[in-house]
Amino acid sequence: MAIKHRFSIWLSLIWLFIWIFFYILRQNYANAQKLFTSDIQVIQNQNDKFDMIANISWLLYQSQKKYNTTFDLQSDSSFQRYLSDENPFSDPSYKPLDIAPIRSYFTHNNPSKFMLRAPAAIAFADMARAFQNAFSWQYKLYLVSAYRSYWSQSSLFKNGCEQTRCAEPWASEHQAWLAVDISVANRNWKTIQMTTWSDYYKWMDQNAHKYGFHNTYQKWEAIDGKMAEHRHRRFLWEPFATYLHDNNMTIAEYYKIQNSEFKI
């Protein structure tokens, strides 16, 4: 009887410990779920904010594309703002209101950590999808960089980037939230550079302007002020990018020839 009694006590204690263990586990799960739900709500609120800004900016952009036939190379907020070491931002504290993450399922890496102005982000996503379709889903664009802060741009010089390759701080198109550096990746995650003889570069050269993107640096220092950078694409606005493409001009050439706004 004594042995049975002791066994019963031990069994009761074991069940008690099991009950306590699962009770604590359930409480921790409930708390974690609350925190997770709270974090998701914060993320969703942030995404809703980005979506609202992006939608408003996109509508304004479409309206401008339809009714405004003037290219503005002077205003900091213009999509066509011409930037060079001799023509930096007028306002060093300039920051656009329509900043948004790039959202696309058609780039090889996660694009949402890269930020651009909303119309540029939307146009880049459209271009990435067209690129993937053109290469039968075997190759995708790979984002190397997009927006770059003053400090990031400054660090390039501190780390030895020559002036013929890197723009000075306040003169970089990346600081305008309009430029990307890209390469290509295949399904095995092998990255491929944008060389002029590659089919990927040829596709970009023939199609990027349809989405408003332009290769700023393609005619070397004498014309563009910098070495050719085949991976660089800057959003200008579809009509202006198409005008430069059709006339085989870079934005630097256009600026030097016109040195003023150009009307279609």
pLDDT digits (tens, 9 = 90+) for 116-152: 999 999 999 999 999 999 998 899 999 999 998 888 8
For 190-227, give one letter per residue: b (16+ CB within 10 A) or e.
eeeebeeeeebbebbeeebbebbbbbbbbbeeeebbbe
Residue 52: predicted pLDDT: 56
Look up residue 123 and give its amino acid: A
Count CB atoms within 10 A of the CB of residue 167: 25
Whether pLDDT at 37 is above 70: no
Say if CB 156 and CB 181 are below 8 A apart: no
Q: What does the pLDDT read at residue 10? A: 66
230 contacts 215 by C-beta, under 8 angstroms: yes
In tens, the pLDDT along 63-119 reads 555 545 678 999 999 999 999 999 999 998 899 989 999 998 889 898 889 999 999
Q: Give the 3-state secondary structure of residue 79.
A: coil
Residue 41 has pLDDT above 70, yes or no: no
Share of the chain above pLDDT 90, in %: 48
Q: Which domains does the chain have, with CATH numbers?
A: 68-263 (3.30.1380.10)
